[in-house]
Amino acid sequence: MIFKKLFIPERQADGIWDIDFQAEYDSGFRAVIFDIDNTLVPHDAPATKETAEFFRELREIGFMTCLISNNQESRVKPFADEVDSLYLTDAEKPSRKSYRKAMKLLGTNLQNTLFVGDQLLTDVLGARRLGMHHIMVDPVDPESEPQHIRFKRVIERIMLFGRKIKRVSKKDLKKTEE
Ligand SMILES: [Mg+2]
Q: Using the mean position of ligand 1's atoms as its centre, give its distance from the Cα of residue 118 in Å.
A: 5
Tens digits of pLDDT across the chain (178 residues): 566 788 899 999 999 999 999 999 999 999 999 999 999 999 999 999 999 999 999 999 999 999 999 999 999 999 999 999 999 999 999 999 999 999 999 999 999 999 999 999 999 999 999 999 999 999 999 889 889 899 899 999 999 998 999 999 988 766 655 5
pTM of the full structure: 0.93
Domains of the chain: 2-177 (3.40.50.1000)
Q: What stretch of H or E contains 166?
A: strand 166-167
Rounded to an integer, what distance in angstroms lies between the CA atom of residue 87 and that of residue 65? 8
CA of 67 to the centre of ligand 1 (A): 11
Cβ atoms of 68 and 91 within 8 Å: the answer is yes
- Cα of 105 to ligand 1 centre, how many Å? 21
Q: Burial of 131 by CB count in 10 Å (0-12 exposed, 13-18 middle, 19+ buried)?
A: exposed
- CA of 71 from ligand 1 middle (Å) equals 10
Separation between Cα atoms, residue 23 and residue 28, nearest integer Å: 9
- As residues whose CB is below 5 A from the ion ligand 1, the structure lists 35, 37-39, 118
Q: How far is the CA of 8 from the centre of ligand 1 (A)?
A: 16
> How far, in Å, is the centroid of ligand 1 from the Cα of 177?
32
Query: Cα(86)–Cα(106) distance, rounded to whole angstroms?
Result: 8
**Other Cβ atoms within 10 Å of 120 Cβ, number:** 22
Q: In the chain, which residue ranges form alpha helices assigned H by DSSP?
A: 2-5, 21-26, 49-61, 73-83, 97-106, 125-130, 147-160, 170-177
178 CA → ligand 1 middle, Å:
35
